[in-house]
């Protein structure tokens, strides 16, 4: 039998009939920034919200920073991107189904992007905390 797969907005559940193993997976998307061929891996739920905020800011011609701590499966550290209209961006989602956007999360992200410290993402917990210390 083929594996069974169920998807909802933030979690994908897979069941392998052969092994009897059930796994919960968060669909992962990719953000391609500038001319770099290497994507930044971001959970779909976070990426969907970030996409709306980035598109809104860029449509207004506003530049800002996006920062995050590297996930545990990457070398330790943190990264910051300078987002501005002349740098190409491409958002690729791991799931074919669009995420359900939370208006309060969008507002928090927009407020953070408008602050002097920029938008800081928490990539460790895509189901709850999308913004780390949004001031």
Mean pLDDT of 104-113: 94
- Residue 106: what are its φ and ψ, rounded to 5°? -60, -40
What is the Cα–Cα distance from 97 to 39, expressed in whole angstroms?
Answer: 20
Check residue 27 and give its pLDDT.
Answer: 87
- Residue 76: what are its φ and ψ, rounded to 5°? -60, 150
The β-bridge relationship of strands 89-92 and 28-33 is antiparallel
What is the Cα–Cα distance from 64 to 101, expressed in whole angstroms?
Answer: 22
pTM score above 0.85: no
| Residue 15 tokens, joined | 């069941």
Check residue 21 and give its pLDDT.
Answer: 63
For the stretch 37-85, pLDDT in tens is: 999 999 999 999 999 999 999 999 999 999 999 888 788 899 999 999 9
Give domain limits for the chain.
27-121
The β-bridge relationship of strands 40-43 and 28-33 is antiparallel
For the stretch 113-134, pLDDT in tens is: 999 999 999 887 544 344 444 4
Check residue 123 and give its pLDDT.
Answer: 80
């Amino acid at each position: 039998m083929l594996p069974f797969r169920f998807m909802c907005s933030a979690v994908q559940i897979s069941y392998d009939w052969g092994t009897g193993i059930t796994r919960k997976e968060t669909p992962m998307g990719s953000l391609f920034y500038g001319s770099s061929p290497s994507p930044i891996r971001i959970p779909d739920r976070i990426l969907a919200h970030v996409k709306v905020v980035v598109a809104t800011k860029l449509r207004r011609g506003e530049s800002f920073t996006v920062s995050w701590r590297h996930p545990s499966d990457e070398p330790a550290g943190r990264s910051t991107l300078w987002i501005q209209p002349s740098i190409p961006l491409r958002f690729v989602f791991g799931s074919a189904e669009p995420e359900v956007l939370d208006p309060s999360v969008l507002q928090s992200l927009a407020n953070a992007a408008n602050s002097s410290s920029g938008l800081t993402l928490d990539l460790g917990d895509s189901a709850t905390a999308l913004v780390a210390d949004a001031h």
